[in-house]
Amino acid sequence: MGEFTTTIESRLDQAYKGLREARSAGDDYLADTLSAEIEDLRRLADDHGIPLRS
């Protein structure tokens, strides 16, 4: 696994964790921001052929 793949997966893990925390705290703005980041990271992974867990 390359460094790029590892970085994408790590950033996704952090974003998903932050999203869960934001939702638990009722922070809709942060949840929306993190959802957008997750979409961007997933698209980037797809563009580069990086398989992701569901």
pLDDT level of residue 54 (50, 70, 90 thresholds): low
Give the pLDDT confidence score for residue 53 in this predicted structure: 76
Dihedral, 46, 52, 35, 39 alpha carbons, nearest 10: 0
For 5-50, how does the pLDDT look when each residue is reduced to its tens digit (9 = 90+)? 999 999 999 999 999 999 999 999 999 999 999 999 999 999 999 9
pLDDT level of residue 1 (50, 70, 90 thresholds): low
The Cα–Cα gap between 5 and 7 comes to 5
Which pair of structure tokens corresponds to residue 36?
């957008």
Phi/psi-derived region of residue 49, left when phi > 0, alpha when psi is between -120 and 50, beta in every other case: left
Identity of the amino acid at 7: T
Distance, CA of 9 to chain centre: 8
